[in-house]
Amino acid sequence: MPTPKIGLSKSRITLFDQCPKRLWLTAHHPDLAEVDDGTRAAFADGHRVGEFACSLYPDGIMISAEAGLGKAVEETAALLSGGWDKPIFEATFAHEGVLVRVDILLPSGAGWHVAEVKNTTGVKDYHLGDLATQVWVMRGAGVPIATTAIRHLDRTFTLTREGDYTGLFTDTLLSAEIEPIIATRADIVASARSVLQGAEPDREMGPHCDAPFTCSFKSYCGRRLPPAPDWPVTILPDAKGKHLARQWLAQGVADLTLVPASAMPNAKLKRIHAATISGEAWHNRDAIRAEVADWAFPRTFLDFEAIQFAIPRWVGTRPFSQIPFQFSAHIEAVDGSIVHREFLSIDGKDPRRACAEALATLPGTGAVVAWSAGFERGCLTGLAALFPDLAPALISLADRLVDPLPVVRRHYYHRDMMGSWSLKNVLPTLDKTGYADLEEVKSGTDAQAGYLEAIDPSTSPERAAALRDSLLRYCKRDTEAMMIVLDALTR
Ligand code: SF4
């Protein structure tokens, strides 16, 4: 029976570059893929940025794939041979059975400028292979190419006027850099084709399963691996812990409880090892008390939620600016009484001014407690730079920040934390509720998705109200969690 001919494309060659088995599974068993929400969202973001880049050329033409890719190739060829001299989006070419759709093609002298659009602020290594495959196909199809570039977001761009995106994108020219990669394409294509026509390739799982992209076949490939031990060596933190884990894994030891205590190179790893073996938490209460003793009252436990947009949405923002849209603050007085304050904007307008004004009403004295406080410091100083009239209050909050994370990291470890001192890992070891009772919004990623849905004009008022409740409950839990953790560790 003849082998069915399976087409190759730029993205399939990228899959092959990552792992031949991934290409094979994508072509023969796409049903086995498990795509997580993060990957889906990243894909949608990339799509949005690509469409936006095209929209900046009102005189361009889009090659549709609705009537099939063969028709798209014909339509592109007809435009080029007819002397079309304006931008073309998704121009489609085929060579040696490999099909590529070029994000943006711009007339440039006697040839074309090829722009591959990426929603990043720079060029990544894996972008070069994408570009090289396109150029290889286009040359094979006889298209004159003047220059080739990755078109990415310019991190220095600031939206200064609504709707004016001039300068949002910048091209990094890579015409020379990709030549050696273009020279490998013919062999790569032949190898990829041979993989596709053969049986499922054997490939051990390894670091390539997460780089440059998390593979969607990890569950499938991992199905025959022995079940992970309860306390894997991979939980060991920091560079030393990761190095040690690799060494023991290479010797076939995946269970931390089978590693001798004498192998632990420093006090921190020794404590983690001992707590894991014994089940007894490492807890130096006196040291924690001593370190937080001078955190003055009233103590303001503060937590932000923020969002980033690849394409700046509001005047004064840049690609991927951190935009705080929510905070929770629990204020603990010296007598133990607690007041809760919060802010959340879901009206779809720039939330920064209102957020800064609400922050400016927080106590002007006492410690400001934030877990991994660098993020809160960045939000506060960013807002202070934007609103000079509120800067004294915001800078005062930033100057009074204290961070429980390094204190807890030095003096507390419970084996259920699995090598992580994130608030979400620490809290359940001290309080049985943790975050388990929250619905819908349970993480920072959920909060961003909830915020985006809530500000979407197509979201119903009832749904927006439900999202608002979930967002408020989640952020409030983060500041409650800090208080519970600090109390439990010092009481
Ligand atoms: S999980 Fe790893 S080994 Fe399996 S297909 Fe994906 S990249 Fe290849």
20 and 71: one domain?
A: yes
- Does residue 213 lie within any of the structural domains? no
Pocket residue to mutate for ligand 1, from 208, 223, 225, most atoms within 8 A of Cβ:
208
The whole model's pTM is what? 0.87
Residue where one domain finishes, among candidates 197, 215, 237: 197
274 and 368: one domain?
A: no
pLDDT tens over the chain, length 491 residues: 333 345 799 999 999 999 999 999 999 999 999 998 788 888 889 999 999 999 999 999 999 999 999 999 999 999 999 999 999 999 999 999 999 999 999 999 989 999 999 999 999 999 999 999 999 999 999 999 999 999 999 999 999 999 999 999 999 999 999 999 999 999 999 999 999 999 999 999 988 999 888 999 999 999 988 888 999 999 999 999 999 999 999 999 999 999 999 999 999 999 999 999 999 999 999 999 999 999 999 999 999 999 999 999 999 999 999 999 999 999 999 999 999 999 999 999 999 999 999 999 999 999 999 999 999 999 999 999 999 999 999 999 999 999 999 999 999 999 999 999 999 999 999 998 778 889 899 999 899 999 999 999 999 999 999 999 999 999 999 999 999 999 999 98
Residue where one domain finishes, among candidates 280, 296, 318: 280
Radius of gyration of the chain from its Cα atoms, rounded to whole angstroms: 27
- Does residue 208 lie within any of the structural domains? no
305 and 271: one domain?
A: no
302 and 242: one domain?
A: no
Contact yes or no for 288/408 (Cβ under 8 A): yes
Expressed in angstroms and rounded, the spacing between residue 21 Cα and the centre of ligand 1 is: 6
Would you say the CB of residue 307 lies under 6 angstroms from ligand 1? no
- Does residue 243 lie within any of the structural domains? yes
Expressed in angstroms and rounded, the spacing between residue 224 Cα and the centre of ligand 1 is: 13
What integer pLDDT is reported at residue 4 of this predicted model? 39
Number of H helices, E strands in the chain: 17, 14
Residue 436 structure tokens: 């388990």
Would you say the CB of residue 25 lies under 6 angstroms from ligand 1? yes
- Does residue 202 lie within any of the structural domains? no
Would you say the CB of residue 15 lies under 6 angstroms from ligand 1? no
Residue with CA nearest ligand 1 atom 3: 205
Rounded CA separation 111/106 (Å):
9
- Does residue 404 lie within any of the structural domains? yes
Angle between helix 461-490 and 404-411 (nearest 10): 50
Count up the domains in the chain and report the number.
Answer: 3
Contact yes or no for 475/302 (Cβ under 8 A): no
24 and 119: one domain?
A: yes
What integer pLDDT is reported at residue 1 of this predicted model? 36
- Does residue 219 lie within any of the structural domains? no
* Close Cβ partners of 37 (under 8 Å, ≥ 6 residues apart): 445, 449
Rounded CA separation 169/152 (Å):
5
434 and 294: one domain?
A: yes
Rounded CA separation 101/133 (Å):
11
* Close Cβ partners of 175 (under 8 Å, ≥ 6 residues apart): 147, 148, 149
What integer pLDDT is reported at residue 227 of this predicted model? 86
288 and 407: one domain?
A: yes
Expressed in angstroms and rounded, the spacing between residue 436 Cα and the centre of ligand 1 is: 32
Expressed in angstroms and rounded, the spacing between residue 242 Cα and the centre of ligand 1 is: 22
What integer pLDDT is reported at residue 472 of this predicted model? 98
DSSP, collapsed to helix, strand or coil, labels residue 149 as: strand
286 and 403: one domain?
A: yes
Rounded CA separation 371/318 (Å):
26
115: closest CA among 140, 90, 97?
90
66 and 104: one domain?
A: yes
Residue with CA nearest ligand 1 atom 1: 218
Q: Which atom of ligand 1 is nearest to the CA of 21?
A: 5
485: closest CA among 417, 391, 400, 419?
417
| Domain with 108 in it | 8-197
Would you say the CB of residue 195 lies under 6 angstroms from ligand 1? no
What integer pLDDT is reported at residue 3 of this predicted model? 39
Q: Within its chain, how far is the Cα of 448 from the centroid?
A: 12
What integer pLDDT is reported at residue 437 of this predicted model? 86
148 and 79: one domain?
A: yes
Pocket residue to mutate for ligand 1, from 16, 29, 215, 223, most atoms within 8 A of Cβ:
215
Residue where one domain finishes, among candidates 234, 255, 280: 280
CATH assignment of the domain containing 159:
3.90.320
Would you say the CB of residue 23 lies under 6 angstroms from ligand 1? no
What integer pLDDT is reported at residue 396 of this predicted model? 98
- Does residue 205 lie within any of the structural domains? no
- Does residue 206 lie within any of the structural domains? no
157 and 245: one domain?
A: no
Rounded CA separation 181/185 (Å):
7
Would you say the CB of residue 16 lies under 6 angstroms from ligand 1? no
Strands 61-62 and 88-95: parallel
What integer pLDDT is reported at residue 433 of this predicted model? 74
81 and 145: one domain?
A: yes
DSSP, collapsed to helix, strand or coil, labels residue 198 as: coil
Expressed in angstroms and rounded, the spacing between residue 24 Cα and the centre of ligand 1 is: 10
CATH assignment of the domain containing 390:
3.30.420
